[in-house]
Amino acid sequence: MSPTDTPVFPPTDGSVTLPEVIDFNLKYNPNHSVFAFSTDEEPESVVSISQLEFDKDQPREVVAVIALVDIIVYQAVVVGLMRAGVVPFPVSHRNSARAIVHLLRETDCHRIITTPATLGSLIDEVIDNIRSTDAEFSLNIETVPTLQQIYPKLGTECSADPFETHINYQRKQITDIALYLHSSGSTGLPKVIPVRHQALVEWATMLPANFRDYKPRLRLGGMSIAPFHSMATFVHIISALYGVMCITLLPPVVHIPTAQPHPLSPDHILEHMRRTKSNGLAIVPSLLQGLAESEEGMEMLKSCDLVGYGGGHISQQLGDSLVSAGVTLRALFGATEFGATSLLKMEDDAATWGWIQFSDRVNLRWAPQGDGTFEAQYLTCETHHPCVENMEDPRGYASSDLFIQHPTNKKLWKFVSRIDDVVVHLSGEKTVPAPMEAVIMRSPMIQAVVIFGNLQDQTGVLIQPTPELVIDISDQQALAKLRNILWPVIEAANQEAPAFSRIFKEMILITSPEKPLPRSNKGNVVRKNALKIYETEIQHLYATIESNTDSEEISVPKSWDKEGINNWLIDQAKNINQNREILPLRDLFEQGFDSLSATFLRLRILGALSRLDSAPELSTKILQNVVYTHPTVDELSKYIVHLLENPGGSTKTKNSAAFIEGMISKYSIGLDAPLPLAIPDDINSTPACTVLITGTTGSLGSDILALLLRDGSVQRIYALNRSGPKSLLARHEDRFVDKGLDERLLSAQKLVLLEGDTSQRRLGLAPALYDEIRNSATLIIHAAWRVDFNLTLVSFERNIQGTRNIIDMARSGSHASSLRFLYISSIGSMQSWDHRNGSYPEEMVYDANTAVGGGYGESKYVAERIIAQSGLQATSLRVGQLCGGMPNGSWATSDWFPILVRSSLALGAIPVAEGTISWVPMNAAAQVILDVAFSGYVPPIALNLVHPTPIPWKDMIRSVRNAVINLNDLGTESLPLVPFDVWWEQLGEVSTESRDENLHIRMPAIKILPFFRKMVETEREMSVHGRHKSESGYLPDLSTKKLETISKKLRNLAPLVPVDAERWVTYWNEINFF
């Protein structure tokens, strides 16, 4: 029959299991091809194995298949075993003997069918292993039937030929095991996966259904797929039998016991795709890459109606180049644990080649990971039963596969990595290795790569170079040279990565020739094993970086004067900052630096200084925060020159309070000038309420925005935010969904979403738009501010500059004298307030010493003081700790208290603290702010926004504990209350003693141990001074009398109760935080 003849397709409703498909096809499709190939002797002719020929004379009574035979023999053996009523177990011959013994024991398998002449040493090792560990475990070894025995009339057999009837197949229950498969062992020993008849039928309704419905009929190249892989089950067996599709293969060559199957190569695939006149190809990524590198290969790929890749992932660059050349490229997604669950639509937009649409027969739950990725969880349902279940309520399989959703077509998903591949740094940021590794692997200089950095600040990379680049890794000069050669490749990968994931040159680790990176049966590097093999080298690398003993690779300034150091620092900062230009007088953190960049610049400074004779003495002066306290190249070079000229002198910096006053003076110049006189068009009219608000993509800002959008008296809202990776509307939609706010509000005509930069002239807006806002705004709410508690005051200067720019706009506008200006400040602005002076007042405190501490709080205080001199109707609202509010209790999991709760759950204890809490629900805080905004009276220059009715910490923590226990069905004794210092000590012990690689995920509190240590210290101080009713953490008590007079919401705000705690815990449960 020709490929275009329409077969009678077997039903996929469960009435015909896979072994019974043989009888069905013998009756209805006997002459349709199962497999086809072309021999070297007759390259112009095609040999086809029909459904009839495939069914005859199959072997019986064996279970494990570990054999080097041709695919047409291998799959005939597998299906024949099923017909014989036993359970076949295709096992990869690439497994170690230890792994094979593990698989045999897991399945209680005592028979192996194999090829002794080619796999004898492996089988002998398996036998020896079993005898040495379990002498009573019996094992029978049998030889696989030959090609001649299975196909005596290869490609020519017909119904007229004599045929000895085999045993009648006894139908099994649909839930009986049909065969065993195993995982690749990429995370350790391979895992046994039982595949039931029910699963095989369900698989047949998904991917193969798309194959069999396609016109013209597909002749699908399946020669690149190893027969023991689950992908081979999909392609070689299910597609061929249920889809009645011809699968084209390399010709059989195992005619004698010592022969081995045809080797795989792009050239062989190209040749036999042509010979067999195949119009489709299922292929693994490595061979697809090889085909794409030749002109002939590209032409063949373009001629196919389908090129489906599976068993791995290809780079965006390769996929895009194939599609742009005209290749119909599609991703074949599936796994042994749950089958082939993706739909195959060859008519889809070519640009979506790497995106997957899942079958409607699959019940998928997408578990958000908090970073824009989602884990695919396959829930057990009537139409899809995963082979493995690792979830109980609901039942299903959590795959650990991470996807992102298509920005416009919500049915499409793209695989990005696996949960167990993700590198989680000490900062809590997550590096996804796969995209960076894909870029690095494009280089012809590199054989293998593994990115590392779990529980470290810096990302590192382990590289196995090609043989011609192999070096003696103990030779530091050769190592430095190779790092320089590879550096452009790493820079290219850094371009694809977020800032916190980028790799610095110092973090390149080269493999030893004696320890090549281990690979799985699929040929992929086994990440877990690789990291284990190089554990010592990786630890040594981090120790070297920390101690900075490896200074040979670090260049030094051409001269150690101001100019030489300045130029050297610019070069180093540029190199660290992805080759961006560095301005010496501008804050490094405004030019792209972060904590990681600062760490490496400090290390390079130490490395350069270590080359001087005075290094030991000078190194003690280069403190961890040196880049923070001298955040420009100019300041840093001056500081280093000062050290060189006065090595034994003091490094004491300018008095902090004086520095704060200096910053206030700098940005207050000109504010003593009178406001312009505003003359409205109609002296009897009241201007319409027009609002400019910043920071509406933040948690508090979004709640304020939602209230403004609901307020009918507000005519226009200008929402100004900085640009980001997503559109401004998308960022608002994401925030509204997370908080349970009504997304439809964002479509209001009165809302104008703006991207700008307050630190720039005219706020980064077009002149006409700036003037429009300037002359119409009657209310300004300034809520945007950088949040980074590591930075010093200087690094917040852009925020302070932005505040002054907004003040200048307000002062020059048409409503300057009547406009109301609200600034969202923080209780951090009073971080050094002396408790002996009583409650912090609702007025401007002019002693800068009360604000000295972290740069964040100091910057908030500076802004308060500048606003107080603005001449506007301005109020600074010092906001305390906010908590999840209505409607859904949304509380960011990056905040310290959610981190405490999650870590307590993992630790098995939750802390009781001294004192009280005055936390305000987010939605309530937003309403209080608007009460001030629309008050009929001019509010004071400063107000304190904390809960007027604090409750004891112990009451709140008991409510949280009860909610966690009740909502997660835990035992009543599973989360005992312990003193805060005991909890902190237990946490510290676990963080230092545990070898759990996922500890940082289960107990994120270990990443902010210093924060909790400070709480413990203040707890002790509170006990010493008997201040048991003070705010927990020994924060200042704040007066709220003035704000209560203005705000009805605050005045009547109910104390926090257990229902609030239940709302928080419910939200955390819903986003899978626990």
Considering the domain architecture, whether residues 1070 and 973 belong to the same structural domain is answered as: yes
Is 429 within 8 Å of 501 (Cβ atoms)?
A: yes
Nearest to 96 by CA among 138, 64, 131, 66: 66
Please write the tens of the pLDDT for every residue from 540-573: 888 777 655 444 556 789 888 889 999 999 999 9
Alpha helices by DSSP H, 849-979: 855-868, 896-907, 922-933, 953-967
What's the mean per-residue pLDDT of the chain?
A: 85
Burial of 160 (0-12, 13-18, 19+ CB in 10 A): exposed
Angle at 24 between CA 176 and CA 35, to 5 degrees: 95
pLDDT tens, 1015-1045?
Answer: 888 777 777 666 666 777 657 789 999 999 9
Return the pLDDT at 829.
Answer: 92
Residues pairing with 64 in the sheet? 89, 112
The residue assigned the tokens 């030893």 is: 512
pLDDT score for 334: 87
* Same domain, residue pair 997 and 894: yes
Is position 707 within any domain? no
- What digits encode the pLDDT tens for the residues 860-884? 999 999 999 999 999 999 999 999 9
State the average pLDDT over residues 33-61: 72
Q: Are residues 1001 and 909 in the same domain?
A: yes
Cβ–Cβ < 8 Å for 873, 820: yes
CA distance 586 to 459: 27
Structural domain range at position 585: 562-653
Q: How many CB atoms lie within 10 A of CB 891?
A: 24
Q: How confident is the model at residue 39 (pLDDT cuts 50, 70, 90)?
A: confident
The 10s digit of each residue's pLDDT in 233-255 is 989 999 888 888 899 999 998 98
- Residue 500 shares a structural domain with residue 615: no
642 shares a domain with 588: yes
Q: What's the rounded Cα separation, in Å, for the pair 377 and 379?
A: 6
Q: Does residue 810 fall inside a structural domain?
A: no
Question: What residue type is assigned to position 950 of the chain?
Answer: P
Q: How much of the chain, in percent, has pLDDT values that exceed 70?
A: 89
Task: Please determine, for residue 121, whether its predicted confidence score (pLDDT) is greater than 50.
Answer: yes
CA 881, CA 496: separation in Å to the nearest integer?
36
Q: Which of the residue ranges 47-56, 616-625, 980-989 has the most confident prediction, judged by mean pLDDT?
A: 980-989
pLDDT in tens, 791-807: 778 888 889 999 999 99
pLDDT of 855 > 90? The answer is no
Domain boundary among 523, 547, 571: 547
- Looking at the fold, whether 974 and 1056 belong to one and the same domain comes out as yes
Q: Which amino acid belongs to residue 84?
A: A
Distance CA 1002, CA 464 (A): 32
Minimal CA–CA distance to 587: which of 759, 427, 459?
759
pLDDT 10s digits, 941-952: 999 999 999 999
Residue 39 lies in a domain: no
Tokens of 460: 């590192």
Residue whose C-alpha is closest to residue 696's, from 686, 688, 685, 707: 707
Q: Are residues 541 and 569 in the same domain?
A: no
The tally of domains found in the chain comes to 3
Structure tokens at 624: 């961890």
Whether residue 474 is found in the same domain as residue 616: no
Pick the last residue of a domain from 478, 512, 547: 547
Mean pLDDT, rounded, for 72-85: 91
- Per DSSP, the three-state class of 135 is coil
Check whether residue 543 and residue 585 sit in a common domain.
no
Q: Do 571 and 542 fall within a single domain?
A: no
pLDDT tens for 442-479 read 898 999 999 998 767 688 999 999 999 999 888 878 88
Closest of 220, 238, 202, 194 to residue 103, by C-alpha: 194
Res. 681: pLDDT tops 60: no
Rg for the chain, CA atoms, rounded: 35
Instruction: Let me know: does 432 contact 369? Beta carbons within 8 Å.
Output: no
Between 435 and 184, the more confident residue is 435
Lowest-pLDDT range of 186-190, 644-648, 922-926, 1037-1041: 186-190
Q: How far is Cα 325 from Cα 323, in angstroms, rounded to an integer? A: 5
What confidence score (pLDDT) does residue 992 get? Answer: 65
CATH number at residue 603: 1.10.1200
Cis peptide preceding 216, ω within 30 of 0: yes
Identify whether 281 is part of a domain: no
Assigned domain for 427 exists: yes
**Domain C-terminal end among 512, 547, 582:** 547
Same domain, yes or no: 528 and 572 = no
The two structure tokens encoding residue 677:
């006189």
Q: Is residue 732 part of a domain?
A: no
Residues 541 and 435 in one domain: yes
Residue 542 lies in a domain: yes
pLDDT digits over 482-501, tens only?
A: 998 999 899 888 876 766 68
pLDDT tens for each residue of 356-388: 999 889 999 998 876 678 899 999 999 999 999
Residue 285 has pLDDT above 90, yes or no: no
The CATH number of the domain holding residue 523 is 3.30.300.30
In a domain, 190, yes or no: no
Task: Label residues 415-437 b or e (16+ Cβ within 10 Å = b).
Answer: bbbbbebbbbbeebbbbbbbbbb
